[in-house]
């Protein structure tokens, strides 16, 4: 499964690795986002960056996607034992 975050109108997803696998769902999301003019960054993202983006209102969406699964919204992420709610606020 892959994870995606929309921060400041940029779609951020971790790069491919031993634990982040290539897949057609991931590729399709990235291709569709770019087709729609969304900047896509394939890079590491820290929990601190996510928390800051959420606290400042810059985190617009968070979702997971997998080839053998569905695309699913993430509503809560726990960071250091504290939940951060309301990630998917894009209208």
The tens digit of pLDDT for each residue in 40-67 reads 999 999 988 998 998 899 999 999 998 7
In the block, residue with structure tokens 């057609």: 24
**Measuring CA to CA, how many Å separate 22 from each of 25, 26, 34?**
9, 7, 17
Q: Which fold has domain 2-85?
A: D-amino Acid Aminotransferase; Chain A, domain 2 (3.20.10)
**Whole-angstrom Cα distance, residue 58 to residue 9?**
8
Query: Rounded CA gap, 40 and 53, in Å?
Result: 16
| C-alpha distances out from residue 12 to 61, 81, 88, Å | 10, 23, 15
The domains of the chain are located at 2-85
Using a cut of 0.75, tell me whether the model's pTM lies above it.
Answer: yes
> Over 50: is that where the pLDDT of 15 sits?
yes
């Amino acid at each position: 499964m892959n994870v995606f975050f929309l921060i400041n109108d940029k779609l951020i997803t971790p790069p491919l690795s031993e634990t982040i696998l290539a897949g057609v769902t991931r590729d399709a999301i990235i291709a569709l986002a770019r087709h729609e003019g969304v900047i896509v960054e394939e890079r590491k993202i820290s929990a601190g960056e996510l928390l800051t983006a959420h606290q400042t209102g810059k985190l617009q969406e968070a979702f997971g996607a997998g080839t053998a699964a569905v695309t699913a919204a993430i509503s809560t992420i726990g960071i250091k034992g504290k939940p951060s709610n309301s990630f998917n606020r894009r209208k």
